Amino acid sequence: MKNTESTENYLKSIFKLQTVDKKVSTTDLADYMGVRAASVTGMLKKLARKKLVSYQPYKGVTLTHIGRKLALKTLRTHRLIELFLVEHLGLSWEEVHGEAEKWEHVISGKIEERIDKLLGYPLHDPHGSPIPSANGELKIKDTVRLDRVQEGESGTIEEVPDEDPEFLAYLGENDIIPGNKIKVLEKSVVGKTLKIQITSKKHTIGLKAAEKIRVHQPKDKGRK
């Protein structure tokens, strides 16, 4: 009756894809997890039997209440570990995701509490993602995609994706780090680029890459 590593990874993946559109398709899940669609079908049946997901053949999956709880618990552990690895073991932010992907399945509740305390009950991981609370609540901040920010507007980097080490290294080199102030200087729809100002440095980034970066803008739309 114990939950396996695979189970936790599936629930976490479904949770992430679910935030985009309600129901998650077999193929999307397979692509995201790097396994074959047939494997996903098999696994979804098992998860459904354990009441962790609600699954209708050909129509996609959603998490049940208990499945969502477990997904958030794993996500919480994952993000606490990431921050711990950066803050206390001096790893760089591009290295920690892979490690956390393994650690998240073996850390006991007690150790998680200790790490949480040691870090001062943090609210965000190194990539700006919110850390779910111990009782499974997650607050989503109001943000916009960087590619949607208008010319002349500014804001604060809120969150970047944590999976791709290369992309993270690139972002780090250009100070595109959560907390930093950012201003859009020029947007070229034809050239698919965005000229930005960040920490007194100017930089041009592709619009495709900018899609992945979430920016927080104050109510007044950040004119300045």
Site residues for its own copies per CB under 8 A: 85, 88-91, 95, 99, 102-103, 105-106, 108, 110-111, 114-115, 118
- Are 80 and 116 a contacting pair, CB within 8 Å? yes
Which residue is it, tokens 């495709």?
208
**Residue 66 engages DNA in binding (rule: CB under 7 A):** no
Three-state DSSP at 19 gives: helix
Q: How many residues of this chain bind Mn ion (CB under 5 A)?
A: 7
**Residue 140 engages DNA in binding (rule: CB under 7 A):** no
**Residue 42 engages DNA in binding (rule: CB under 7 A):** yes
Closest distance between DNA and the C-beta of residue 35, in Å?
4
Which of the choices Mn ion, DNA, its own copies, none does residue 44 contact, using the CB cut-off of 5 to 8 A by kind?
A: DNA
Which of the choices its own copies, DNA, Mn ion, none does residue 103 contact, using the CB cut-off of 5 to 8 A by kind?
A: its own copies
Q: Which member of 28, 94, 147, 162 binds Mn ion (CB under 5 A)?
A: 162
- Are 129 and 213 a contacting pair, CB within 8 Å? no
Backbone angles phi and psi of 164, in degrees to 5: -100, 105
Give the H or E element holding residue 62: strand 60-63
Neighbours of 203 (CB within 10 A): 16
Which of the choices its own copies, DNA, Mn ion, none does residue 150 contact, using the CB cut-off of 5 to 8 A by kind?
A: none
Nearest to 183 by CA among 209, 161, 201, 208: 201
Which residue is it, tokens 């079908």?
41
Closest distance between DNA and the C-beta of residue 51, in Å?
14
**Residue 13 engages Mn ion in binding (rule: CB under 5 A):** no
Nearest to 39 by CA among 74, 81, 10: 10
Q: Which is nearer to DNA, 4 or 180 (CB)?
A: 4
Closest distance between its own copies and the C-beta of residue 111, in Å?
6
Which tokens sit at 180?
A: 């930093």
Which tokens sit at 213?
A: 């970066």
Sign of CA dihedral 199, 170, 128, 97: negative
Q: Which is nearer to its own copies, 35 or 119 (CB)?
A: 119
Contact track, DNA, 19-38, x by CB under 7 A: ------xxxx-----xxxxx
Closest distance between Mn ion and the C-beta of residue 53, in Å?
17
Chain centroid, CA 168 distance in Å: 13
Closest distance between its own copies and the C-beta of residue 122, in Å?
16
Instruction: Return residues touching Mn ion (CB under 5 A).
Output: 9, 82, 101, 125, 127, 129, 162
